[in-house]
Amino acid sequence: MEQVADKNLKIQLELEQKDRRRKILMNILPFSGLVFIFLFFLVITGGQLVSSSNLQNLINQCFTLVIIAVGASFVYAHGGMDFSIGATCGVAQVAGSMLFIKAGAPIWFAFLITILTGVFCCVLVAGSSILARVQVFVASLCMRSIATGILSTTVAKSEIIIPFAEYKYMNNMLLKVIVLVSVIVIGVYLFEFTSLGKSERAIGGNILTASQGGIQTKKIMLIAYVLMGTCVGLAAVFQMFRTGYVTAQSGSGLEFEIMTAIVLGGFPMTGGDRSKIQAAIIGAITVTILANGLALWGLDPAQVNGVKGLLFLIIVGVSYDRSRGKLVS
């Protein structure tokens, strides 16, 4: 009996040691990957990656992805997801730009409506999933179809032109850096140091246990979607003034880029206590540098998307724990 007990203890210790090594590896890999990708493209582009003109492109591209990734972290932490992020961003831009350009509304009001539209769309997904018990996968796909339909109906034939030359301050790099840093700081504080972030992670770990522990699971999950919608709307405001127009393709593909950033950063798609908001931020920066570097290298947008898709599959394959039947970090 003692031999059996000793053998079981030895196996348990080996498993724990293996799990600790896996955790350390998964914590180191995302940042190491970011550094490697940065140095790789810095070399093969002959320094173009850090040229003054390209740094502005990097900030613009990073701005949208990182801000949305911060908001999405709260949703993914409790095990949620949203496949309508891109279409929601597009619809938010349509709502704000139509009020501003066609209805002549004050710019501050157009900004507010843009952000509120993002919140409204995300809350619809949350409401369908949390209250109506529709699978979040299905709810977000339905929202994506509705939003895409709105985009196709409103701006399919003629794009909405934004007179961004009159509002150059919206493209000011300093302003964008301030907004970006502010969102990151607020996001990290809420996620890591408040009961909200801890509750989101607890729900992702085990929703039944979280509920029995006194956490208002529905309320906490709804707040996560409100935060994500706010971030989507904020990103939409700056994106439409950066591009100078809104089309039926505005926001297209953002949901896939966010999922790639989440996985690439080592953020578990099933949520739980291993969820780290910095993982999503690192992933978003990595995806931005990867896409930018590939473009500088001469790849067209379709090829860049192909590389990102392949990378996504590889990371998912590596992160999949067959013994648990889910993605882990």
Give the model's pLDDT for residue 11.
Answer: 66
Does the pLDDT of residue 151 top 90, yes or no?
no
Report whether 39 contacts 291 (CB < 8 A). Answer: no
Is a pLDDT exceeding 60 seen at residue 326? no
CA 280/CA 70 separation, integer angstroms: 7
pLDDT recorded at residue 298: 86
pLDDT band, very low/low/confident/very high, at 52 (cuts 50, 70, 90): confident
Averaged pLDDT for residues 280-307: 89
Flag the least confident range among 14-18, 107-111, 183-187. Answer: 14-18
Write down the pLDDT at residue 253.
Answer: 83
Q: Looking at the predicted structure, is the pLDDT value of residue 6 above 60?
A: no
Mean pLDDT of 74-100: 91
The percentage of residues in the chain with a pLDDT greater than 70, rounded to a whole number, is 85
Q: Where are the domains of the chain?
A: 32-315
Lowest mean pLDDT among 26-30, 100-104, 195-199, 220-224: 26-30
- Using a 10 angstrom Cβ sphere, with 0-12 exposed, 13-18 middle and 19 or more buried, the burial of residue 293 is buried
- Counting residues of the chain whose pLDDT is more than 90, the rounded percentage is 39
Q: Is 173 helix (H, G, I), strand (E, B) or coil?
A: helix
Q: What's the pLDDT tens digit per position in 228-253?
A: 999 999 999 998 888 877 887 888 88
Q: How many residues does the chain have?
A: 329
pLDDT value of residue 328: 46
Q: Let me know if 1 is exposed, middle or buried by CB neighbors in 10 A (0-12, 13-18, 19+).
A: exposed
158: left (phi over 0), alpha (psi -120 to 50) or beta: beta
Q: What is the pLDDT of residue 16?
A: 63
Residue 168 scores a pLDDT above 80: no
Residue 327 — very low, low, confident or very high, per pLDDT cuts 50/70/90? Answer: very low
Q: What value does the mean pLDDT take over residues 266-290?
A: 89
How far apart are alpha carbons 54 and 49 in whole angstroms?
A: 6
Q: Which two tokens stand for residue 319?
A: 């992160």
Higher pLDDT, 239 or 26: 239
Q: Is the pLDDT of residue 23 over 70?
A: no
CATH of domain 32-315: 1.10.3470.10
As a whole number, mean pLDDT of residues 166-172 equals 73
pLDDT of residue 280: 92
Q: Where are the alpha helices (DSSP H) in the chain?
A: 2-44, 52-77, 85-97, 107-126, 136-155, 173-193, 195-205, 207-212, 217-243, 254-264, 277-296, 301-319
Arithmetic mean of pLDDT over the chain: 84
Residue 202: pLDDT band by 50, 70, 90 thresholds? very high
| Choice between 302 and 90, residue whose per-residue pLDDT is larger | 90
pTM value? 0.87
pLDDT of the residue at 29: 76
What is the mean predicted confidence (pLDDT) over 251-266? Answer: 87
Query: Side-chain half-sphere of 295: how many Cα atoms within 13 Å?
Result: 14
Q: What is the pLDDT of residue 286?
A: 92
**Alpha-carbon gap, residue 46 to 283, rounded angstroms:** 24
**Does the structure show a pLDDT above 50 at 325?**
no
Per-residue pLDDT tens for 115-126?
Answer: 999 999 999 999
Average pLDDT over residues 169-198: 92
Contacts for 143 with CB less than 8 Å, ≥ 6 apart: 82, 84, 87, 88, 121, 124, 125, 128
Q: pLDDT tier at 323 (50, 70, 90 boundaries)?
A: very low
